[in-house]
Amino acid sequence: MKGRPLFGLSFLVLTSVSIAVQAASVATNTSSVLQQSPSTLLETLIRIVGAFFLVIAVFVAGVWIFKKSRFFSLYQSSPAQLKVLESRSLGYRNSLLVVGYYHHRFLVSVSATGVSLLSSLPDAPAEGPASLDHSPFSEQLNALQGRKA
């Protein structure tokens, strides 16, 4: 399986080179073609356009094979652990965010002047987001404000 991407890439290169050589031979014969009849000129133009579309098709097929190969699976990133769990707008360019990182949660304010940590919230249960407290955001905010006072 390791040789497949290399095979696909080498096939793509060899095909592109052979098409380029054919296109170069057509280009050298253009002076004689211009002196020929219009039907021969049309045939040559169709060959050139066909060769162009063939090169594009081979390139697209090569890119598709390359993306489907195992090469990209070696470099896949881990799933993101930093997530915005909830956000509320407080007006023009001001908002409150509940940010989660693994099982920790933070209340963060975002404004035109910057980002500020308001409070560290109780850690989320290990079971996942299904067991989180689903009370309205305003109740949680009021409870946090009352706790600080």
CB within 8 A of 43, min separation 6: which ones?
A: none
Instruction: Write out pLDDT tens, residues 48-83.
Output: 889 999 999 999 998 888 877 766 666 666 677 888
Domain ranges of the chain: 3-75, 82-148
Instruction: Please tell me which residue, 91 or 27, carries the higher pLDDT value.
Output: 91
Is the confidence at residue 130, as pLDDT, over 60? no
DSSP string, 18-80: HHHHHHHHHHHTHHHHHTS-HHHHHHHHHHHHHHHHHHHHHHHHHHHHHHHSTTGGGGPPPPP
Instruction: Please tell me which residue, 59 or 6, carries the higher pLDDT value.
Output: 59
Dist. CA 72–CA 10, nearest whole Å: 18
**What local confidence, expressed as pLDDT, does residue 131 receive?**
46
**What local confidence, expressed as pLDDT, does residue 133 receive?**
55
Beta bridge partners of 119: 107
Instruction: Write out pLDDT tens, residues 13-57.
Output: 777 767 766 766 665 555 555 565 667 788 888 888 899 999 999
